[in-house]
Amino acid sequence: MFPEHKIKEFGSKICDLIKGKDLTCQETKALFSQVLLNEQPDLQQGAFLATLTAKGETPEEIAGG
């Protein structure tokens, strides 16, 4: 299924977004890659996209996407 350590790392980035922290271009690229390759459960994918949208994307995050 999905490796637990990857789910936890992805989840910690979601928590950062919830706290209003901006992601780097590289972090965003890595997270979007996992979404596009379906390497995260649907719930994680939706949470990432929703929290990024709710926070508001920075130019770096848009470039990473």
* pLDDT value at residue 61: 98
Q: Where are the domains of the chain?
A: 12-17+24-64
* pLDDT value at residue 13: 98
pLDDT (tens place) for every residue of the chain, 65 residues total: 899 999 999 999 999 999 999 999 999 999 999 999 999 999 999 999 999 999 999 999 999 99
* pLDDT value at residue 1: 82
Residue 35 near residue 47, CB atoms below 8 Å: no
* pLDDT value at residue 7: 96
Phi, psi of 56 (to 5 degrees): 95, 125
Give the Cβ contact number of residue 52 at 10 Å.
21
